[in-house]
Amino acid sequence: MTKIDSFSLLNKQPCDDEGPVFAEPWHAQAFALAVHLSESGLFSWKEWSQTINDEIIKAQNAGDLDLGNTYYEHWLNALELLVRKKGIFNFEELVKRKEKWRDAYLQTPHGDPVKLTPSNDGY
């Protein structure tokens, strides 16, 4: 599978006979991104497992009731931590990237896919 094919999969919501496998499309995207980055060698699955575990424990210690509704937020936190740790992005770059996505989201008509363009991407 080529790099482009891997990322095109992020836009598809996996389903089974009962419907979507993930509660939200972004949950599937976060899952696919973690798998892709691990398979690409950015981090081992063991390192990923330890990082996501640490994030969940940190959230529980901060009062997360662990009802399942915040699980993929922990995935995002773990992904951000690892890309910073590996030097892919620093904190400021991640903040800027999130702001660009937020701006693109707010400018996208309802129902249309959110896309970063060279004019609003900045990268």
User: For 75-92, what is each residue's pLDDT tens digit?
Assistant: 999 999 999 999 988 889
Task: Write b or e for each residue in 42-63: b if 16 or more Cβ atoms lie within 10 A of its Cβ, otherwise e.
Answer: bbeeeebeebbeebbeebeeee
Asked if 78 and 67 count as a contact pair (C-beta separation under 8 A), the reply is no
Using the predicted structure, report yes or no on whether residue 102 has a pLDDT greater than 70.
Answer: yes
- Give the pairing type, strands 19-20 and 15-16: antiparallel
Domain ranges for the chain, please list them.
Answer: 3-88, 91-123
Using the predicted structure, report yes or no on whether residue 120 has a pLDDT greater than 80.
Answer: no
Instruction: State how far Cα 58 lies from the chain centre.
Output: 18
The residue-averaged pLDDT of 88-107 equals: 86
